[in-house]
Amino acid sequence: RTFDELVETVSNSQPPPLAALPNGAIIRPKLRRRELEAVVHQALAKDPGRRQSSADAMADELQRLVEGEPVQALPQSLAYLLRKRFQQHRGSWLFAVVAALLLVFLAGGWFLTRRQTEQREEIARSFAQEAERIEWFLRYAQSLPLHDIRRERNLMKGRLARLEGQMEAFGPLAEGPGNFALGRGYAQLGDHERALESLETAWNSGFRTSGAALALGKVLGKLYAQRLEETLRLKDPQLRESRRRELQERYRNRALEFLRQSGSNELESPSYLSGLIAYYDDRLEEATRRAAQAQQEAPWLPDGFLLEGDAALALAIGHGEKGEYAEAEARFSQAFEAFGRAQEMTPSDPVPYESACEAWLHFIDMARLRGGDLTPGYSTGKRDCSLALEAEPDRPSCLLKIALLSIFRLQDPQLDPTEVETLLADAQRNAEAAKALLPSQGEVYQTLGTAHLSRALLVDVRQGLDPSPDLEQAAVAYRQAIRLDPALLTSHSNLGTVLAVSGGLLMNRGEDPRPLFDEAIGSYRQALARGPGRVALLNNLGNLHRDKAAYLIQRGLDPKAVLEAGLDACQEALAVNPRMVPALNLRGALEETLGQLAADRGEDPAPFFGRSIASLEAALGENPGYFRAAVNLGSTHLARARERAARGEDPRPALAEAFEALDL
């Protein structure tokens, strides 16, 4: 360009932006470039009033530019000033921003946690209140005059179903309190298995309040008491104690642990909790005292009276086992009175009636062992269970107890024969009704099998009828009981008896009974494996071997091994109870048969006959009126007489002893 053109351009044209210059792109960052452009453009402005006032002002402006301070050439907006401060203190600003964000995050988390806690507490209160309402609804219904409470129970089940729906709506927050409420409801309905499942779910989800611990302890205690009922009816002390220990490990110990955790703040009566702990800890005297205190602290509740009845019943059973019958009767009376008071307070609650019925079952068992009259206990026990069924007609445990009362009554030596058919029909009808309600419970089939077995032995055999149909039904019932609950020792034992009797019928018809006899031996062995040392069962096993040996003798087969196995069973029973008359008698009979076999083989039978006579005389020494032992003793002396005659010796002394034994 010419000089004139340059002057014209400088005088009249605006200078181009710095970024448009060849090296302008190297000015970084964008804000610094913009500031530099503003300073340069201000210095080159055509209007003198827009330029820096002096060279010093220009120098100050450039100094600010170099040091990163805001330049005067740009508008001093808040955004521009803040941006400059951020560039000057980038680290501090980043820290402040991060800290602010963190505070916002923490505040949000705290608020969310607090909100969830409030929701959880609100849900817990809601479910707890509903559980209280459900419990007291049923308690009120039970306090009304005796009536069928199934309507109220169905209403309660409907409310529990709605609770489950609410749990789904609330989601995970309701898992603990919801299952706690469900567990309390099921416990009040008497469905302790479902109650335990719900309460354990609540506990495992973290809902570990004192109320949850108390509910778990009470439910586990109820399950322990229920399972203990059948165990207490077992005759063998060793077996009873073994089963009790199993139940203690499974239920009682955990019940005690939870009850001790719960404290007494959830109860109207602190003494009731102390009494429960004492009862499950087998401190029964203390339990009765605490129960009496609980009755004073909360006289409007039946729980104290039920606890007193349970503890007194356990004491009565213990005294009866020791032969302390006067003390046992006093405790039975205490139990009946306590259960009666509970019945008065809640006339429509089946539990006090059923508890009294259970006590009468044990009272009858003690009276049977003493040779006492079973009629009063049977009548009163059946009345109590019938009242329980008025309150709850489809209560299977009561139906089973009535069936057991009828079966126990059949064992009364003073029973009028005309009552047998009625009692058997009653037992079968109630057992069948219980089976319809509880088709998966082994004890139901065990009771049903015993009813069929009793009919076969007490009606069919005595009347000359074929007992096979009833025996077959009994076997089916016992096998089903064992499938459902392999620990049911009585089912194994009674199945052995059914098979033994069935084998005897085959033998009488000339058929081979050995398959049935061997199966019966297996059932007895299964029972003995679960309850070693049961003398009655061992005696049954010995009798079964004697019957099998009799069949082998009929067929000309060697019975020695079978007879010796029977003798081993007798010896095992007598090792437990040396004065057991049936076992002494059976041992004498088996020794006599072994003596006759020895004589047939040309061996000396005298040792066998000597042991037979000693055992039979011991049986008669224990019970002089035991007719079977007298007959077997006479038979042994006759066998001695025949053996002496066969050897050319004088048989008359042995014959005289036979006549004396037979009282001829």
- Write out the DSSP string of 414-442: T--GGGHHHHHHHHHHHHHHHHHH-TT-H
Specify whether 26 is located in the same domain as 115.
no
Please give the helix or strand (H or E) that residue 498 lies within, else none.
Answer: helix 489-508
Reply yes or no on whether the pLDDT at 25 is more than 50: no
Show the domain range for 103.
93-208
Distance (Å, whole) CA 533 – CA 528: 7
Reply yes or no on whether the pLDDT at 264 is more than 70: no
Do 426 and 406 touch, CB atoms closer than 8 A? yes
Reply yes or no on whether the pLDDT at 355 is more than 60: yes
Q: Which residues contact 424 (CB under 8 A, 6 or more apart)?
A: 406, 410, 451, 454, 455, 458, 459
Specify whether 138 is located in the same domain as 78.
no
pLDDT by residue (tens digit) across 91-108?
Answer: 666 666 677 777 777 666
CA 59 to chain centre: 95
φ, ψ for residue 461, nearest 5 deg: -65, -45
Distance (Å, whole) CA 223 – CA 234: 18
Specify whether 27 is located in the same domain as 83.
yes
Specify whether 125 is located in the same domain as 28.
no
Please indicate, yes or no, if residue 33 is contained in any of the structural domains: yes
Quote the pLDDT of residue 500.
Answer: 95
**Two structure tokens written together for 48:** 């003198």
- pLDDT confidence bin for 631, thresholds 50/70/90: very high
Quote the pLDDT of residue 24.
Answer: 47
Do 164 and 195 touch, CB atoms closer than 8 A? no
Alpha carbon separation from 323 to 311, 318, 327, 367, 369 (Å, rounded): 19, 9, 9, 11, 10
Do 410 and 458 touch, CB atoms closer than 8 A? yes
Do 490 and 474 touch, CB atoms closer than 8 A? no
Greatest Cα-to-Cα distance within the chain, rounded to the nearest angstrom: 177
Do 533 and 238 touch, CB atoms closer than 8 A? yes
Quote the pLDDT of residue 661.
Answer: 83
Specify whether 136 is located in the same domain as 63.
no
Quote the pLDDT of residue 423.
Answer: 93
- 233: DSSP letter: T
Distance (Å, whole) CA 123 – CA 130: 11
Which of 62, 88, 114 terminates a domain? The answer is: 88
- 511: DSSP letter: -
Please indicate, yes or no, if residue 367 is contained in any of the structural domains: no
Specify whether 49 is located in the same domain as 147.
no
pLDDT by residue (tens digit) across 500-551?
Answer: 999 999 999 999 999 999 999 999 998 888 766 577 788 899 999 999 999 9
Which of 28, 55, 88 terminates a domain? The answer is: 88
φ, ψ for residue 140, nearest 5 deg: -65, -45
**Two structure tokens written together for 341:** 């008071």
Reply yes or no on whether the pLDDT at 405 is more than 70: yes
User: Buried b vs exposed e over 567-605: b needs ≥16 C-beta within 10 Å?
Assistant: bebbebbbebeeebbbbbbbbbbbbbbbbbbbbeeeeeb
Distance (Å, whole) CA 388 – CA 151: 15
Specify whether 637 is located in the same domain as 596.
yes
pLDDT by residue (tens digit) across 450-494?
Answer: 999 999 988 888 888 899 999 999 999 999 999 998 888 889 999
- pLDDT confidence bin for 648, thresholds 50/70/90: confident
- Residue 252 burial (10 A CB sphere; 0-12, 13-18, 19+): buried
Mean pLDDT of all residues in 236-244: 70
Do 342 and 352 touch, CB atoms closer than 8 A? yes
Please indicate, yes or no, if residue 638 is contained in any of the structural domains: yes
Specify whether 72 is located in the same domain as 97.
no
Quote the pLDDT of residue 173.
Answer: 80
Quote the pLDDT of residue 26.
Answer: 45
The tally of CA atoms less than 13 A away on the side-chain side of residue 367 is 21
Do 398 and 349 touch, CB atoms closer than 8 A? no
Reply yes or no on whether the pLDDT at 572 is more than 70: yes
Q: Treating both helix axes as pointing N-terminal to C-terminal, what angle do 30-43 and 55-67 enclose, rounded to 10 degrees?
A: 180
Q: Which of the pair, 170 or 398, is modelled with greater confidence?
A: 398
Please indicate, yes or no, if residue 15 is contained in any of the structural domains: yes
Specify whether 121 is located in the same domain as 204.
yes
Which of 208, 240, 264 terminates a domain? The answer is: 208
Specify whether 103 is located in the same domain as 202.
yes
Q: Which residues contact 567 (CB under 8 A, 6 or more apart)?
A: 542, 587, 590, 591, 594
- pLDDT confidence bin for 5, thresholds 50/70/90: low
Length of the chain: 664
In percent, the amount of the chain with pLDDT more than 70 equals: 82
Do 388 and 343 touch, CB atoms closer than 8 A? no
553-559 CB contacts, 8 Å cutoff, 24+ apart: 553/593, 554/507, 559/593, 559/597
Quote the pLDDT of residue 73.
Answer: 67
- What is the tally of structural domains in the chain? 3
- pLDDT confidence bin for 10, thresholds 50/70/90: low
Specify whether 78 is located in the same domain as 151.
no
- pLDDT confidence bin for 660, thresholds 50/70/90: confident
Reply yes or no on whether the pLDDT at 434 is more than 60: yes
Please indicate, yes or no, if residue 158 is contained in any of the structural domains: yes
Alpha carbon separation from 442 to 183, 231, 243, 479 (Å, rounded): 25, 14, 16, 9
Least confident range of 137-151, 278-292, 526-540, 577-591: 526-540
Do 212 and 199 touch, CB atoms closer than 8 A? yes
Alpha carbon separation from 401 to 381, 414, 424, 426, 443 (Å, rounded): 9, 22, 14, 11, 11
44-53 CB contacts, 8 Å cutoff, 24+ apart: 44/15, 46/14
Q: What angle do CA 41, 42, 45 make, to 5 degrees?
A: 80
Alpha carbon separation from 646 to 284, 602, 613, 639 (Å, rounded): 67, 11, 20, 11
Do 199 and 219 touch, CB atoms closer than 8 A? yes
- pLDDT confidence bin for 89, thresholds 50/70/90: low
Please indicate, yes or no, if residue 464 is contained in any of the structural domains: no
Integer-rounded Cα Rg, in Å, for the chain is 46
DSSP characters over 542-571: HHHHHHHHHHHHHTT---HHHHHHHHHHHH
Distance (Å, whole) CA 166 – CA 175: 10
Please indicate, yes or no, if residue 454 is contained in any of the structural domains: no
SS3 of residue 98 by DSSP: helix
Please indicate, yes or no, if residue 456 is contained in any of the structural domains: no
SS3 of residue 664 by DSSP: coil
Distance (Å, whole) CA 60 – CA 19: 23
Residue type, 153: R
Specify whether 632 is located in the same domain as 655.
yes
Do 604 and 587 touch, CB atoms closer than 8 A? no
Quote the pLDDT of residue 101.
Answer: 76
Bond from prior residue into 486 cis (ω within 30 degrees of 0)? no
The CATH number of the domain where 652 resides is what? 1.25.40
Distance (Å, whole) CA 441 – CA 484: 7
Residue type, 297: E
Reply yes or no on whether the pLDDT at 656 is more than 60: yes
Distance (Å, whole) CA 40 – CA 154: 93
- 249: DSSP letter: I
Least confident range of 184-198, 259-273, 334-348, 430-444: 259-273
What number of other Cβ atoms are within 10 A of residue 533's Cβ? Answer: 17
